Structure 1
Amino acid sequence: MEKIAFKMKLKPGFKAEYIKRHYFIWPELKAILKKHRVKDYTIFLDEETDTLFAVQLKQGESDSQQIGSEEVVQKWWAYMADIMETNEDNSPISKPLINVFHLD
């Protein structure tokens, strides 16, 4: 298992909407994540900066950052584009974070 972390940016004022949309995450999107061996996926929000901090536990080579060719993922990106900072293809602007400490 490998743990990866990355950050994204929520547009100001959309905390409640972001939480609501993830509460009702599409079952087919969950299935794609599981298919690509994402075993655990947690997102935190820094309310002072609207920065989203995501952590994934995954098996194998793929993760949620590498499944953009999947149709349901592209639809999810388009659905979320109005409340997040995105690239031209609607994918969230995502910055990988390096692991500097882990307490086992």
Structure 2
Amino acid sequence: MPSIHAFRMQLKPGVIDEYRRRHDEIWPELTALLTDSGIHDYSIFLDEETLTLFAVLKLADVNARDALPDHPVMKRWWDYMAPLMEVQADNRPVETPLPMIFHHA
């Protein structure tokens, strides 16, 4: 049974339209990488007042999510998105985990 992971990220001011455009044109090799890594049903929501992004994804029991930071496609995506978001030194988005406190199936 897949697990659900949620986390928060932060956009920089004035980049909502560009962030949306880049995700509307997401690279096929990135979507394949996410799927092959066991990630599916991945959604990102935006609080326009605070520019906070809320991401929710399902992760297969057997997955390769921990290997994504070393993958060239993932690194290239993070470099591409870095000007739009709060990031770490390696351009990985700053992610704050959000613990689940309620779920209705």
TM-score range, shorter chain: over 0.9
Shift of 1:95: 0.6
Shift of 1:65: 6.4
Question: Which aligned runs of 4 or more in structure 1 are off by greater than 3 angstroms?
Answer: 61-66
RMSD over aligned Cα, in angstroms?
Answer: 1.4
User: For residues 35-74 of structure 1, what are the structure 2 equivalents within 5 Å?
Assistant: 35-62=36-63, 66-74=67-75
User: For residues 1-104 of structure 1, what are the structure 2 equivalents within 5 Å?
Assistant: 1-62=2-63, 66-104=67-105
Shift of 1:63: 6.4
- Which amino acid is 2:86 matched to? E
Seq. identity, % = 45
Instruction: Give the unaligned 5+ runs of structure 1.
Output: none
What is the TM-score when the length of structure 1 is the normalising length? 0.94
The number of residue pairs the alignment matches comes to: 104
Shift of 1:39: 1.6
**Could you report, residue by residue, the CA deviation over 1:8-55 in whole angstroms, capped at 9, with x for unpaired residues?**
000011100000000000000001100111121000000010000000
Out of 55-64 and 85-94, give the one that drifted further.
55-64
Which secondary structure does the structure 1 equivalent of 2:84 belong to?
coil
**Could you report, residue by residue, the CA deviation over 1:36-91 in whole angstroms, capped at 9, with x for unpaired residues?**
11121000000010000000012025465651100000000000000100000000
What is the TM-score when the length of structure 2 is the normalising length? 0.93
Q: Residues of 1 paired with 2:62 and 2:49: CA distance?
A: 33
